[in-house]
């Protein structure tokens, strides 16, 4: 369905009945990423984020983290009960920021994600990297970008997995993806380091072979000692795809209260 959020038309997939859970996809994903997740007796609400899928593609200034979070706060109006928010990578960064801003979020589950970069120097360097990638998308095209993206060393994906993801990635708008990097890339995100203790219950899921995000999760746990980390074996940056059975067992227990 389409839902207007603060003047922007969003593509939103709503499924099932039960406790409300907001699902936020990663970069190059869409609202339909929940199709790869296990079935649960919950009310799933999954939007295509700004600059992704069939959601409208507003300006860069209208697609920043603060703007995205304001839109999602409106989406939480769909249910007056407390929310669980599940976010993968980019979606995880947004989930953590939303939880810091909206008290209706009672539980955050971050998958392969980060609370941002600690220093302005790190953020500046990352913004330069994101701009380089944005220009690559614009000049070389979507096919070249997808080939470059799916061959990054952070994945542990078979050719069959890559093929399944490729269709969604190639259906994106290249200008929109470039603008997503410019608006809400990690270098543009205000850091949540130093504020993790103020978040609601927070759980992290990481692939055992995603060494970068494993390290980030451990550093987050040093700051927030009650934060729990669930490591998925034989998986890299996309554990929900790379080891779907083990991931499914964990995510169902976290959402439904089995852990």
What's the pLDDT at 36? 87
Cα torsion through 203, 207, 213, 216, rounded to 10: 40
Each residue's pLDDT tens digit, 105-131: 999 999 999 999 999 999 999 999 999
Contact (Cβ atoms closer than 8 angstroms) between residue 76 and residue 14? no
Task: Please tell me the total count of domains within the chain.
Answer: 1
What's the pLDDT at 65? 98
∠ CA 257-100-246 to the nearest 5 degrees?
35
What's the pLDDT at 116? 98
- Characterize the bridge pairing of strands 228-232 and 201-207: parallel
What mean pLDDT do residues 198-220 have? 97
CATH number at residue 86: 3.40.50.1820
Residue 65: left if φ>0, alpha if ψ -120 to 50, beta else—which one? Answer: alpha
Each residue's pLDDT tens digit, 17-63: 999 999 999 999 999 999 989 999 999 999 999 999 999 999 999 99
What's the pLDDT at 78? 95
What mean pLDDT do residues 191-208 have? 97
Q: What residues make up the domain containing 130?
A: 2-256
Each residue's pLDDT tens digit, 128-171: 999 999 999 999 999 999 999 998 888 888 888 888 889 999 99
Q: Is the pLDDT of residue 192 over 80?
A: yes
What's the pLDDT at 70? 98
What mean pLDDT do residues 234-259 have? 94
Please count the other Cβ atoms lying within 10 Å of the Cβ belonging to residue 103.
9
Q: Residues with Cβ < 8 Å from 6, sequence gap 6 or more?
A: 70, 71, 74
Write the DSSP symbol of residue 49: P
Residues 106, 254: Cα–Cα separation, whole Å: 13
What's the pLDDT at 157? 85
The structure's pTM equals 0.97
Residues 3, 120: Cα–Cα separation, whole Å: 36
Q: Is the pLDDT of residue 16 over 80?
A: yes
What mean pLDDT do residues 84-95 have? 98
Q: Is the pLDDT of residue 258 over 80?
A: no
Structure-token pair, residue 105: 């979020």
Q: Is the pLDDT of residue 248 over 90?
A: yes
């Amino acid at each position: 369905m389409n839902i207007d959020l603060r003047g922007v038309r969003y593509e939103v997939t709503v499924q099932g009945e039960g406790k409300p859970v907001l699902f936020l996809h990663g970069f190059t994903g869409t609202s339909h990423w929940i199709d790869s997740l296990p079935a649960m007796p919950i009310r799933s609400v999954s939007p295509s984020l700004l600059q992704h899928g069939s959601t409208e593609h507003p300006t860069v200034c209208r697609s920043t983290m603060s703007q995205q979070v304001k839109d999602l706060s409106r989406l939480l109006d769909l249910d007056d009960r407390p929310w669980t928010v599940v976010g993968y990578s980019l979606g995880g960064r947004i989930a953590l920021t939303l939880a810091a801003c909206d008290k209706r979020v009672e539980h955050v589950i971050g998958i392969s994600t980060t609370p941002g970069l600690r220093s302005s120097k790190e953020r500046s360097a990352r913004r330069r990297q994101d701009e380089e990638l944005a220009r690559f998308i614009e000049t070389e095209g979507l096919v070249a970008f997808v080939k470059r993206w799916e061959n990054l060393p952070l994945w542990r994906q078979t050719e069959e997995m890559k093929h399944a993801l490729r269709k969604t990635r190639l259906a994106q708008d290249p200008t929109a993806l470039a603008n997503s990097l410019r608006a809400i890339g990690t270098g543009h995100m205000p850091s949540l380091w130093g504020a993790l203790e103020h978040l609601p219950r927070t759980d992290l899921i990481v692939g055992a072979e995603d060494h970068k995000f494993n390290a980030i999760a451990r550093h987050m746990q040093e700051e927030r000692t009650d934060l729990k980390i669930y490591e998925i074996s034989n998986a890299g940056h996309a554990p929900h795809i790379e080891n779907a059975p083990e991931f499914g067992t964990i995510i169902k227990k976290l959402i439904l209260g089995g852990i």
